A and B are shown apart, each in its own frame.
Chain A
Amino acid sequence: MRAVDDDAELMLRFQKGDRAAFDQLFARYSTPLVSFLARMVSDRGKAEELAQEVFVRIHQARSRYQPRAKFSTYLFGIAHNLALNELDRAYRKRETVLEEHAAAQLPSEAPPVEAQLDAKYTARRLEAGLAKLPERQRAALLLRSREGMSYSEIAKALGASPSGVKSLIHRAREGLLEILGRERP
């Protein structure tokens, strides 16, 4: 079977028993997954658990894996589902902390000063703004802006139509700009 991309190639090697190929995928995607999930669920510890769970699913599904789409689409699709389940569970238990409060504790280290000077918005304000977006808008925007995924890839990962993704991203950016404009210091 021809691999769709580098990552899918690694997954096919892992399928044939090459454990080092899995290690490479793990190293490549740990940080992007934890970043995505932490911003989705506003809880860094929970994000790590969910990211581990994504890798467990990938590991266990290796014999059934077929490279029909890019590997990252498949990976973030699983991550998105787990994030939505977690958010549902948290809402049901009424355990959600105030979003601003949660967002304020991300990330743990202050970004380099240079990064703050280059960007128009500080990391802290952006994280807080992202946390206020509806979850599907937030997911679509993160996959676009942080992972560089195309609308059709995002559509596959989120189980949406490409035109639905176009609308999600448009509303996410408009909403985020409005939140940031409202809260200008």
Chain B
Amino acid sequence: MRGCRQFGSEVAAFLDRELDARETAAFEAHLDDCGACRSALEATRDLEASLRDLPPIEPGPRFEAQFWARLARAESARDWRERLRSWQPLQWLGAATAVATLAVLLSVGHPAPSAQDWILITGDDFDLVLETDPQMLASLDLLDTWDEAEEI
């Protein structure tokens, strides 16, 4: 399909009612004279109707339960992070060193972090990593256990 050079890029916005009054009037006047734009408009209308008719993709039966579990993990990660911040010795040590130390403790009995994890863990982006990296979030379940053991 060869489009119209002058108005071809207006077809989509016209159909979506995203042209202003002046542009709409100009496009409508042009439509009377331009077969290319008329057929582009018709093809785009058909396409839109087909897209609207696409069936939705429904979440599976475990979707909601999985969400609540994911939320619980994220919340415990957040709690742990806040407790870590307020823990005196850590404040003396400085966050970066402390996190590295903690990571050593945690690696006992668990797969050692990869080289990439170490960079992430010891960097200034610590909080960001905890908030965004699902693998780090998953590993925090374990941190909670450790934290409870400290309290006993």
Q: Which residues of chain A have a CB within 8 Å of any CB of chain B?
A: 26, 30-32, 34-35, 38-39, 44, 47-49, 51-53, 55-56, 59-60, 106-109, 111-112, 115, 118-121, 123, 126-127, 141, 144-146, 150-151, 166-167, 169-170, 173-174, 176-178, 180-181
Chain B residue numbers with a CB within 8 Å of A60 are 74-75, 78
Partner of A173, one of B47, B57, B71: B47
CA distance in complex: A31, B58 (Å): 5
CB of B109 closer than 8 Å to a CB of A: no
**Shortest Cβ distance from residue A100 to the other chain B in the assembled complex, whole angstroms:** 17
Chain A residue numbers with a CB within 8 Å of B13 are 151, 166, 169-170
CB of B35 closer than 8 Å to a CB of A: no
Chain B interface SS verdict (over half): helix
Chain A residue numbers with a CB within 8 Å of B59 are 30-31, 34, 48, 51
CB of B91 closer than 8 Å to a CB of A: no
**Shortest Cβ distance from residue B98 to the other chain A in the assembled complex, whole angstroms:** 24
Partner of A56, one of B1, B3, B70: B70
* A44 engages B44 (CB within 8 Å): no
Partner of A26, one of B53, B66, B67: B67
| Pairs of residues from A and B, 6 with the lowest C-beta to C-beta distance, nearest first | A119-B50, A145-B51, A170-B12, A35-B57, A121-B50, A52-B67
CB of B64 closer than 8 Å to a CB of A: yes
* B60 engages A167 (CB within 8 Å): no
Partner of A31, one of B11, B12, B57, B71: B57
Partner of B47, one of A31, A115, A121, A167: A121
22 A-B contacts, Cβ less than 8 Å apart?
A: A47-B57, A48-B60, A49-B66, A49-B70, A51-B59, A52-B70, A55-B67, A56-B70, A56-B71, A59-B71, A111-B53, A119-B53, A120-B46, A120-B49, A121-B46, A126-B50, A126-B51, A127-B54, A145-B48, A146-B54, A151-B13, A177-B43
Chain B residue numbers with a CB within 8 Å of A127 are 54
Contacts A49-B66, A115-B53, A169-B12 known; 16 new A-B pairs at CB < 8 A: A34-B57, A48-B63, A55-B71, A60-B78, A108-B57, A115-B55, A120-B47, A120-B50, A121-B47, A126-B51, A127-B54, A144-B16, A146-B54, A176-B47, A177-B47, A178-B1
* B16 engages A169 (CB within 8 Å): yes
Chain A residue numbers with a CB within 8 Å of B134 are 49, 53
A33 to B, closest residue via Cβ: B59
Most buried by B among A169, A170, A180: A170
* A173 engages B44 (CB within 8 Å): yes
CA distance in complex: A181, B48 (Å): 15
Chain A residue numbers with a CB within 8 Å of B50 are 119-121, 126
